[in-house]
Amino acid sequence: MVKMSSIVNRVIGKVCRLHPNMVSHIRTSERVLFLTFDDGPTPQVTDTLLDLLEQFDAKATFFVIAKEATRHPEVIAKIIAAGHTLGNHSLQHENFQTLSRAEQANDVLQSQTTLSGLCQSPCKYFRAPQGKWTFSLISLLKQHALTGIHWSKDSNDFKTTSFEKLTRSLIDAEMKNGEILLFHDDSEKSINMLKTLLPHWQKQGFRFAAIEGYV
């Protein structure tokens, strides 16, 4: 049986080929993986995650929810100071497939303004909440010189499955250069997984980079 997620990934892959401002995998000959974290910042969780990433000299991309970022500017400052990339994950995580074009535009512009105020430079990257893209959102991003970032591998860390089981399935998955991996930093599950995964992937010769500079 073909899994729903693989069908979605195939469709997203096609969309990315047609729209150069949409990316789900980064073409590179470097042995590098792109870790991305959605739905933060979450005090304590994001802080602990930053410490773990530092231990492995890992850079990542944080797709933050603008309203949460306003509540925790000190965490945003730590993310930037550590050399990670900050991405926009909308104002308050609404499903863009249920918003009108005007509402989508309002959300993108307001969240861009909020995040620019916190990090002194505009975000260049946007990820739709739950990866629910629409063609009007993609054209809106293009209009504002933003790149939409999807993912090529989903950690499924939002599911109720145990972190041990999820970790095992990522260890079993074949990792290629330039994979964009989806994690979340709204709970400690990703941290529990990465304590095993980071050393495992490092042993396979991978390093971990932020998206800035590659896209």
Shortest CB 89 distance to Zn ion, Å: 6
Kindly state the tokens that stand for 45. 């969780």
Angle between helices 101-119 and 135-143 (to 10 degrees): 40
The residue whose two tokens read 């802080």 is 47
- The residues carrying an active-site annotation are 38, 184
* H or E stretch covering 23: strand 22-23
**Based on CB atoms, which residue is closest to Zn ion, 110 or 202?**
110
Shortest CB 68 distance to Zn ion, Å: 11
**Based on CB atoms, which residue is closest to Zn ion, 108 or 206?**
108
Shortest CB 9 distance to Zn ion, Å: 17
Dist. CA 40–CA 75, nearest whole Å: 9
Maximum distance among all alpha carbons in the chain? 48
- Where on the chain is the footprint of Zn ion (CB under 5 A)? 38-39, 129
* H or E stretch covering 181: strand 180-184
Shortest CB 173 distance to Zn ion, Å: 21
**Based on CB atoms, which residue is closest to Zn ion, 138 or 206?**
138
**Based on CB atoms, which residue is closest to Zn ion, 29 or 98?**
98
Kindly state the tokens that stand for 23. 């990316």
Of 15, 28, 59, whose CA–CA distance to 148 is shortest? 15
Dist. CA 51–CA 194, nearest whole Å: 12
